[in-house]
Amino acid sequence: MSLNKIKAFVTAVEYGSLTKAAKKLDYTQPSISHMISSLEDEYGFSLLIRGKSGVSPTDNGLVLLPIMQDLLKRAQRLAETINEINGMEVGRIRIGAYTSVCVHWMPTVLSLFNKKFPKIQIQLYEGNSQEIKQWLENGKIDFGIGTTQIIQNSNFIPLKNDRMLAILPNHHILANHHLIELKTFATEPCIMPYEDSHHDVQFIFKKEKISPNIAYQIRGDEAIIAMVKKGLGISLLSELLIKEHLPEICAKPIEGNYIRTIGILTNSSVQSLSPSSKKFIPFLQEWVQKNG
């Protein structure tokens, strides 16, 4: 059994392209195609559907995909553990994180971590709630950095409580209020995120049984903030997301003092993660405690 062939197949499925898989793994496209064809010959059935627009797994390929992903993850853990025993801090970590985390935490954290562990490679994927959930489920990432609203039954290590705040244009009539009642969102024009991108926001309105008066629905945080600045409506976002935009916008506490808890999400216990991940997590915890 060749792990390189398996990695070629898994990467081709992940990128939906033999060319992109070849670039990622530093092979030629014909080499990647040959490795996957060789694997198909070994197994006795097709693994990929090849088309003009790219590649996708066959039904049999879909059945094998999670097993192969797990096999590659275990092989990576084995290699890292051997290196750790030999005193070599070498490995790879794949992390999925919210935009707010990628923007405000990760540049500094990754820079400091890289200086301490220069041989540990980190792949960072920026995503929303739904994307991080999917990446955890399909094994694309080792762990996520998000909130408890992503996967209710996942393992969760809290890092920081992040206040949810009403954001308004500076000239808004409610800008001099100390607290914004949630029912305000039912009457004021609102700029709201899509349901798949901000589960924490949707959770609050669903719990309070409030239907926001949606004037605009936007996927990106920066776009929401920009539209609030222009006076097109009010919104509800976390303190971490908006703190760099103050005082260009007005931020007010909301009724109920809701918070979201940002933390590390895994599909299994931390002890089952790779040695590299088990180095990164306490490193991140310590940094957030001091700086977050």
| Phi/psi at 235 (5° precision) | -150, 180
Between CA 24 and CA 96, with CA 197 as vertex, the angle to 5 degrees is 35
Q: Looking at residue 150, what is its pLDDT?
A: 57
How buried is 67 (Cβ within 10 angstroms: 0-12 exposed, 13-18 middle, 19+ buried)?
A: exposed
Per-residue pLDDT 10s for the chain (292 aa) are 789 999 999 999 999 999 999 998 989 999 999 999 999 999 999 999 998 889 999 999 999 999 999 899 889 888 888 887 766 678 889 999 998 899 899 999 999 999 999 989 999 999 888 889 889 888 889 999 998 765 555 689 999 999 999 999 999 999 999 999 999 999 999 999 887 677 889 889 999 999 999 999 988 888 999 999 999 999 999 999 898 898 899 999 999 989 999 999 998 788 888 889 999 999 999 999 998 7
Q: What is the 3-state secondary structure (H, E, C) of the chain?
A: CCHHHHHHHHHHHHHCCHHHHHHHHCCCHHHHHHHHHHHHHHHCCCCEEEECCEEEECHHHHHHHHHHHHHHHHHHHHHHHHHHHCCCCCEEEEEEECHHHHHHCHHHHHHHHHHHCCCEEEEEEECCHHHHHHHHHHCCCCEEEEECCCCCCCEEEEEEEEEEEEEECCCCCCCCCCCECHHHHHCCCEEEECCCCCHHHHHHHHHHCCCCCEEEEECCHHHHHHHHHCCCCEEEEEHHHHHHHCCCCEEEEECCCCEEEEEEEECCCHHHCCHHHHHHHHHHHHHHHHHC
206-252 pLDDT per residue, tens: 999 999 999 999 888 889 999 999 999 999 999 998 988 988 999 99
Q: What's the token pair of residue 91? A: 């490995």
Residues 221 and 100: beta-carbon distance below 8 Å? yes
Question: What structural domains does the chain harbor?
Answer: 1-64 (1.10.10.10), 161-260 (3.40.190.290)
Q: Looking at residue 52, what is its pLDDT?
A: 85
Q: Looking at residue 87, what is its pLDDT?
A: 63
Q: Looking at residue 194, what is its pLDDT?
A: 81
Torsion of CA 22, 28, 30, 32, to 10 degrees: -40
Distance CA 157, CA 234 (A): 32
